[in-house]
Structure 1
Amino acid sequence: MLSAQHINKSFSGVQVLHDVHFSLLAGEVHALLGENGAGKSTLLKTLFGMYRPDSGTLSVAGTPVVLGSPKDAQAQGIAMIHQELALIPELSVAQNVLLGNEGRELLNYGRMQARVRPFLEQVGLNVHPATPVKRLTIAQQQMVEIARAVARQARIIIMDEPTSSLTTHEIGQLYRVVRDLTARGVGIIYVSHHFDEIEELADRVTVLRDGRYIGTVRQRDVTQDQLVTMMVGRELVAQTAPPERTPGAVRLDVRGLSSNVFREVSLQVRAGEVVTLAGLIGAGRTEVLRAIYGADPSTGGEVRLEGVLMSRRTPADMMGRGVGFIAEDRRHQGIVPDARVSVNMMLTSWAKGKVGVGERDMLRAVEPQIQQLGIRPANPHQIIRRLSGGNQQKVILGRWLSAGCDLLLIDEPTRGIDVASKADIYALIDDLARSGVAVLMVSSELPEVLRLSDRILVMREGRLAGELARADASEERILALATGVHTHAKDPAVA
């Protein structure tokens, strides 16, 4: 159905893909695995015509093709569902589904909606075609993307981290759509860092490492540990919780903080401890973090830093008081995409006047951080948007390590990041806490919450539903508080 042979690609003299091979059969789910920086995104964009390979051949249905643009790929029956969804929020569902493929229905909205309904039904999306996309949930928007691929009669669909923002129920819905598509003969290239998804859906798995093809295996013939070894070139030490930390004085004291999304949130974070806000998507966790930092308005309550009332909070005020903030949306709120790694890493240090703006001063400050954090490629001049998500996250962490902070607010620290990069970031967060930094974190991954946290504050529907000490926490107890469904265990925290 699709074949890529001897693919090579470089950017600014840095080789990103080295003699890579990949093939896709009709009606199969072929998972693509690799660490952040392994070359997965570059290969996907090459298969979708966003990048031209320096050498190698691409074939569709046995015929060699040249994909010079996404339009060329679409003409060959290839569609791509990007991790960052490519929809136009102000347009309707119908307009987005038929975008670039409107035909005679362009100015006839009734016909356009009628034409779209069968595609929405096929992907199980029960919304009116006239609904503006901006009113849909992330999961519904993703189904609009898949409906668009179906409308274009795509025979090959590339899905890049499709579950990164979905709830458990929504993930189940996606699984059903994927199985329906493959039953119709559609081939799917599936990228995920979650091994349970690979086990659930994939027929075959191809692994890349450092831009090189490592191998292709049948999913049912390998274990998770074997796949991890293929990905990283070594066996990973099992991730266990670090030894207990001894917290110090209160760094952050939040009392009765409220907004239009959450109500009466009170919490404390001490020096040298990691506190995590857990809960379901939509519970208000991100909004609490942003309100504390002054990025979003609050309607009541107070925030104190080391006992000092922050009555007027802006991100600049909080940064000046030693507070760092790492947003969930790296692409839009964490990086300057077209700037170099060195510039992105020094933004906060420049704002604080800690580092000169000269090239020599900047490189002197940045190069040790790049080595310490294991950023790949280790090139301070690389444009940051060309780095993988895991390496971009390391650059953002490096920004606050360079500038220094007493309190770090982190929203979904390992979203879309591979298993090896997660281990690196866990170690960095642990090191920060042991150095005396207070860390307040939001995470939707329960193993991560249990691995990193000294205390866990669980939110439900905009309110704090309870607190769990590290020794008392389990996935079941966290979910019981997050959903309001009591377990049968004798647990006073959830009774």
Structure 2
Amino acid sequence: MTVLPVTELLSAQHINKSFSGVHVLKDVQFLLRAGEVHALLGENGAGKSTLLKTLFGIYIPDSGILAVGGQPVTMHSPKDAQTHGIAMIHQELALIPELSVAQNVLLGNEGREVLNYAQMEARVRPFLAQVGLNIAPNTPVKRLTIAQQQMVEIARAVARQARIIIMDEPTSSLTTHEIEQLYVVVRELTASGVGIIYVSHHFDEIEALADRVTVLRDGNYIGTVDQKDVTQDQLVTMMVGRELAAQGTFVERTPGAVRLDVRGLNRNGVFEDISLQVHAGEVVTLAGLIGAGRTEVLRAIYGADPITSGQIELDGQPVPRPSPAVMMLRGVGFIAEDRRQQGIVPDAKVSVNMMLTSWAKGLVSVREADMRRSVEPQMQALGIRPANPNQTIRRLSGGNQQKVILGRWLAAGCGVLLIDEPTRGIDVASKADIYTLVDELARQGVAVLMVSSELPEVLRLSDRILVMREGRLAGELSRAQASEERILALATGAQTHAKDSNVHAV
């Protein structure tokens, strides 16, 4: 039997990169082989994004060697990377919404000949078929789902004959079914010899797809291992440099009085007849599939989006015209799913971001010395790294940014907290910290209403679970009743549990 040699597609040797004197990558190694999925793991802030951007020509390393096909290369831009057969699917998709699918697939790869629309569409059809995307090439991208847009990005990489594809958190906004479709496409690509660098915080994805795993920690190369030879606990230890304490078990709580009471909330065409209560010291989760209306309900309760009809009461008192300003002054906090766009002021200091709500409520002065006295103990207590209140928040990892936002509401003393996807895009260590913070908020008597798409997270944190389907409440599960299977049955309308007497239909 002849053993075929392993083809080296891309390698990085002794890569170093600094920004403003801060060493972000330190002697980092990486090797991608043809036909493999090579996962890149590390906590937020470990250097993953910097390494990916270096491999894609966005950053130029201060020192070290990049090689494609065993030959050293110098890449000064993404265009150089594309010339070497490298494509990158960013977490924030880089498509032009107003253009058609065909135009986006061929963008930058049109060739010298002038193509009319019919020729463009004919040219891209094989690429769409290869990634399993059954849509008309003339469809505007803005009409597609996130999953379909992701497949358009992959089709563009295929059209450019990329042999190396970088996927950065590709499933962060996908449903379970859409994730399975992505797996099929990834396996077909690697079967054709394409090498894929795959970044994810979800260990089930790593187990399902990865051949090898490289771990970074604090900008340092920790090691590369065969995925089948290591456990999740071993990978976590490599990532954080210690055995991570378990994310904890559910903390038994004794809920108090009703703090948030929502009755018959409607928004035409979005959600219908939403009624729920959240008690002091209780965590209630809105579960369901993406598109079920969970985020829209949360935003409507906070007054960020209008409602058609319904009533909202806080501590027994009606809120006739909810708005973010009114709700904030009434002690309601809101943490949006998209923290970069809606949760932080990226170029402002950490101290400013943490004190925004306290300023608005007149609880703290704008003097820098006063801010530092308020912020520094909070940063220490929340485990925010680095603990420098004068650093701009955009330089913090996603997990530390989320801790700052939670700290903002802790400092302002909210009685009700609405949280949308609390750990989206957050590494395993920061996720455990966030769970502890949510437990602490509940212990202090805060009423927490949460949206989460991660079922283990839902089961870990929730006292009660309200499942939404197609804009309506499909059922309620107590903690004792809840399981992943029952949640999914309610979310999808599956008949297998429709007769389950333990499930309370709404």
What is the TM-score with the length of structure 1 in the denominator?
A: 0.96
Out of 15, 32, 36, the residue aligned to residue 24 of structure 1 is: 32
Q: Secondary structure of 2:167's match?
A: strand
Q: Compute the displacement of 1:120 (Å).
A: 0.7
Instruction: Please name the residue that 1:148 is paired with.
Output: 156
476-485 or 409-418: which moved more?
A: 476-485
Instruction: Please name the residue that 1:37 is paired with.
Output: 45
Gaps in structure 2 of 5+ consecutive residues:
1-8
1:448 maps to 2:457: yes
In 2: Cα distance, 1:40 partner to 1:448 partner: 24
In 2: Cα distance, 1:48 partner to 1:288 partner: 39
1:492 maps to 2:502: yes
Instruction: Please name the residue that 2:404 is paired with.
Output: 395
1:280 maps to 2:289: yes
Q: Compute the displacement of 1:494 (Å).
A: 6.0
Q: Compute the displacement of 1:193 (Å).
A: 1.1
Q: Any conservation in 2 of the 1:241–1:450 contact (CA below 8 Å)?
A: no
Q: Secondary structure of 1:188's match?
A: strand
Gaps in structure 1 of 5+ consecutive residues:
none
Q: Secondary structure of 1:472's match?
A: coil
Q: Any conservation in 2 of the 1:33–1:231 contact (CA below 8 Å)?
A: yes
In 1: Cα distance, 2:276 partner to 2:181 partner: 36
Instruction: Please name the residue that 1:94 is paired with.
Output: 102
Instruction: Please name the residue that 1:384 is paired with.
Output: 393
Q: Compute the displacement of 1:107 (Å).
A: 6.1
In 2: Cα distance, 1:490 partner to 1:403 partner: 43
1:270 maps to 2:279: yes
| Superposed counterparts of 1:200-349, under 5 Å | 200-259=208-267, 260-349=269-358
In 1: Cα distance, 2:417 partner to 2:430 partner: 19
Q: Compute the displacement of 1:104 (Å).
A: 4.6
Q: 1:381 to 1:115 in 2, by over 3 A?
A: farther
* Residue identity matched to 2:309: G
Instruction: Please name the residue that 2:57 is paired with.
Output: 49
Q: Secondary structure of 1:258's match?
A: strand
Q: Any conservation in 1 of the 2:481–2:503 contact (CA below 8 Å)?
A: no
Identity over aligned pairs, percent? 82
1:369 maps to 2:365: no
Out of 140, 157, 177, the residue aligned to residue 132 of structure 1 is: 140
Instruction: Please name the residue that 1:406 is paired with.
Output: 415
Q: Secondary structure of 2:480's match?
A: helix
Q: 1:367 to 1:55 in 2, by over 3 A?
A: farther
Structure 1 vs Structure 2 CA RMSD: 1.7
Q: 1:162 to 1:354 in 2, by over 3 A?
A: same
In 1: Cα distance, 2:55 partner to 2:114 partner: 29
Q: Any conservation in 2 of the 1:105–1:111 contact (CA below 8 Å)?
A: no
Residues 373-397 of structure 1 show CA distances to partners (whole Å, capped at 9, x for unaligned) of 2222333333333332222211211
Instruction: Please name the residue that 1:199 is paired with.
Output: 207
In 1: Cα distance, 2:77 partner to 2:374 partner: 39
In 1: Cα distance, 2:388 partner to 2:16 partner: 20
1:464 maps to 2:478: no
Q: Secondary structure of 1:417's match?
A: coil
Q: Compute the displacement of 1:96 (Å).
A: 1.2
In 2: Cα distance, 1:105 partner to 1:196 partner: 45
In 2: Cα distance, 1:61 partner to 1:382 partner: 40
Q: Any conservation in 1 of the 2:101–2:141 contact (CA below 8 Å)?
A: yes
Q: Secondary structure of 1:471's match?
A: coil
Instruction: Please name the residue that 1:479 is paired with.
Output: 488
Q: Any conservation in 2 of the 1:19–1:213 contact (CA below 8 Å)?
A: yes
In 1: Cα distance, 2:98 partner to 2:300 partner: 27
* Residue identity matched to 2:453: S
Q: Secondary structure of 2:109's match?
A: coil
Q: Compute the displacement of 1:242 (Å).
A: 3.1
Q: 1:374 to 1:15 in 2, by over 3 A?
A: farther
1:4 maps to 2:9: no
In 2: Cα distance, 1:336 partner to 1:178 partner: 36
Residues 5-36 of structure 1 show CA distances to partners (whole Å, capped at 9, x for unaligned) of 12222223322222111111111110001112
In 1: Cα distance, 2:466 partner to 2:216 partner: 38
Residues 318-370 of structure 1 show CA distances to partners (whole Å, capped at 9, x for unaligned) of 11111111111122211222333233222222222222223323333222222
Residues 414-472 of structure 1 show CA distances to partners (whole Å, capped at 9, x for unaligned) of 11111111100000000011011110000111111111011111111111111111122
In 2: Cα distance, 1:314 partner to 1:68 partner: 48
1:184 maps to 2:172: no
In 1: Cα distance, 2:281 partner to 2:424 partner: 24
178-187 or 351-360: which moved more?
A: 351-360
What is the TM-score with the length of structure 2 in the denominator?
A: 0.94
Residues 20-63 of structure 1 show CA distances to partners (whole Å, capped at 9, x for unaligned) of 11111111110001112211111111111222222222111122
| Matched residues, number | 495
332-341 or 474-483: which moved more?
A: 332-341
Q: Secondary structure of 2:435's match?
A: helix
Instruction: Please name the residue that 1:78 is paired with.
Output: 86
Out of 425, 429, 435, the residue aligned to residue 420 of structure 1 is: 429
In 1: Cα distance, 2:347 partner to 2:71 partner: 36
Q: Secondary structure of 2:261's match?
A: strand
Q: Any conservation in 2 of the 1:106–1:112 contact (CA below 8 Å)?
A: no
* Residue identity matched to 2:54: T
Instruction: Please name the residue that 1:165 is paired with.
Output: 173
